[in-house]
Amino acid sequence: MKALLNIIRQHKAGAPVGIYSVCSAHPVVLEAALREGLAHGTPVLIEATSNQVNQFGGYTGMKPADFHRFVMAIADRVGFPRDLVLLGGDHLGPNCWQSAPSDEAMNKSDVLIEQYVAAGFRKIHLDCSMSCKDDPAPLPEHVVAARAARLCAVAERTWRRCGGEAPVYVIGTEVPVPGGAQEDLHDLQATSPEAAAGTIAAHRAAFAAAGLEAAWERIVGLVVQPGVEFDHHKVIDYRAPLAQALSAYIESDALMVYEAHSTDYQTPANLKSLVRDHFAILKVGPAATFALRETLWALADIEHEWLGARRSAGLKSVVLDTMRARPAYWRGYYADPAREQVDLQFSLSDRIRYYWPAPEVRQACEAMLANLDRDPPPLTLVSQYLPDQYAAIRAGRIAANTGHLLQAGVSALLRQYRYACSPTAGHLELAQ
């Protein structure tokens, strides 16, 4: 975590620097992130969420140790130094077990934290903000803080047993819903400075009561709501004047910066303003897989135009059939049957990302990519459906194969975050 701590020290000293966190388990997204880091000599922060990766496998089928091996194998393949791969755990707490009694949910959370830290994850978001089956709603802040301290104690014991770098922590209760909001966004407000101060005070007291003063010195981030969010088809843009009081408040804290969730789909200028205003850890997840889906959908259209329906893999139909056959990951999100076809494919919440690991989807995707690499389409079709990649091919920046086309689609999104987090990244680099 030395690289992360150095970035935060620079930020607290007045430099407009930050770091973005890639919250994804898709290999193309992770490879794109690592290649961006390799090209520019920067560390790469990759985080797994508790519903993606946990002791039961999560929706990816990976436990924390499996995810560590998975990421490091990609890093080795692209030649990215392992010591610059920063692994974090996001929403670690009872999020996956909210329907269980709190004792059961917290016991499972203890195991979750232990496995993450033992596997080498060292940036830990302690998130106990959700109510369990026998809890009041909302959960009182002192209960949230006490549970976070309990999980921190587990992390500290595990780190001391396993060795390695000391973990750093992120706290905070004003956490947007993972993957985008489901409620009306019209009344979205930035966190007040008073609420941020209350969160810090409650956690400080809970950590002191648990004898965790040393761990408190390693809390680097506070999750707050800067006034950004997205739902299925709308984005609430960052409006700096509405967050100025919140921004000014954290300047008095020597240790912490803000961590901003749901920054997906913000403009490059908004992302840069967020970092300037001390939201120095920017989380991105659905926007990265949304960019990947856009590229895959364009390739499916290219395949259909070039090879015809009989020779094509039919990726779009396979994905939609799979989603309808197993609707658990989207049914509670897409409530309007009249818009279901559009939402399944194009929603900004990108519930489609849960289906890329499905065997039939993976097989169709691999078949499509193999078809196009075996029988490459003319660049006129690439220009029609992927004009940015076409320009990159003409400029000699990428090769005209599906691997480079996919990487370029995701990298274009990640470059917006690099621009926001680096004072030396210029506007021209967004197009490269």
- Which tens digits make up the pLDDT trace of 77-90? 999 999 999 999 99
- 328, 379 contact by CB (below 8 A): no
Based on the fold, state whether residues 256 and 126 are members of the same structural domain. yes
The CA distance from 152 to 170, in Å, is 10
Give me the pLDDT at residue 425, please: 66
Beta-bridge mates of residue 219:
169
Nearest to 174 by CA among 186, 190, 154, 153: 190
Concatenating the DSSP letter of every residue in 37-100 gives: HHHHT--EEEEEETTTBSTT-TTTTB-HHHHHHHHHHHHHHHT--GGGEEEEEEEESGGGGTTS
Count Cβ neighbours within 10 Å for each residue of 260-291 and write b for 16 or more, e otherwise.
bbbbbbbebebbbbbbbbbbbbbbbbbbbbbb
| Alpha-carbon gap, residue 360 to 297, rounded angstroms | 16
- Encoding tokens for residue 183? 């409620």
Q: Is 339 helix (H, G, I), strand (E, B) or coil?
A: helix
- Token pair listed for 193: 């400075």
Q: What is the three-class DSSP state of 283?
A: strand
> Same domain for 232 and 119?
yes
260, 284, 308 - which closes a domain: 284
Q: How confident is the model at residue 424, as a pLDDT? A: 78
Residues 147 and 267 in one domain: yes
- Domain co-membership, 223 together with 141: yes
Q: What is the pLDDT, as a whole number, of residue 282?
A: 98
What pLDDT sits at residue 428?
45
Distance CA 429, CA 431 (A): 5
155 Cα distance to chain centroid? 22
Q: Which of 250, 284, 318 is the last residue of a domain?
A: 284
- Tokens 């967050």 belong to which residue? 243
* Range of the structural domain that residue 382 is part of: 289-431
Q: Which tokens sit at 87?
A: 């692994």
The first and second tokens of residue 351, run together, are 């519930």
pLDDT at position 174: 67
- Enter the tokens of residue 136: 């009041």
User: For position 310, which CATH number holds?
Assistant: 1.10.400.20
Check whether residue 240 and residue 317 sit in a common domain.
no
In this structure, the answer to whether residues 102 and 230 fall within a common structural domain is yes
- Predicted confidence at residue 423, as pLDDT, reads 85
DSSP-derived 3-state class of residue 223:
strand
Q: Do residue 275 and residue 307 come from a single domain?
A: no
Let me know whether 149 and 254 are in one domain.
yes
**According to the model, what pLDDT value does residue 432 have?**
58
Domain count, the chain: 2
Strands 85-92 and 44-49: what pairing?
A: parallel
Phi, psi of 110 (to 5 degrees): -55, -45
Nearest alpha-carbon partner for 314 in 363, 358, 350, 384: 363
Are the CB atoms for 295 and 410 separated by under 8 Å?
yes
Dump strand ranges (E) for 146-273: 168-171, 219-224, 229-230, 235-236, 257-260
Same domain, 70 and 215: yes
Same domain, 275 and 259: yes
Q: Are residues 226 and 293 in the same domain?
A: no
User: What does the DSSP 8-state code read for residue 139?
Assistant: P
For residues 422 and 395, state if they share a domain.
yes
Residue 274 maps to which CATH number? 3.20.20.70
CB within 8 A of 251, min separation 6: which ones?
278
Distances (CA, A) of 386 to 268, 287, 294, 296: 21, 17, 9, 10
Domain boundary among 284, 305, 329: 284
With beta carbons less than 8 A apart as the criterion, state whether 58 and 65 touch.
no
Residues in the chain predicted with pLDDT less than 50, given as ranges, are 175-182, 428
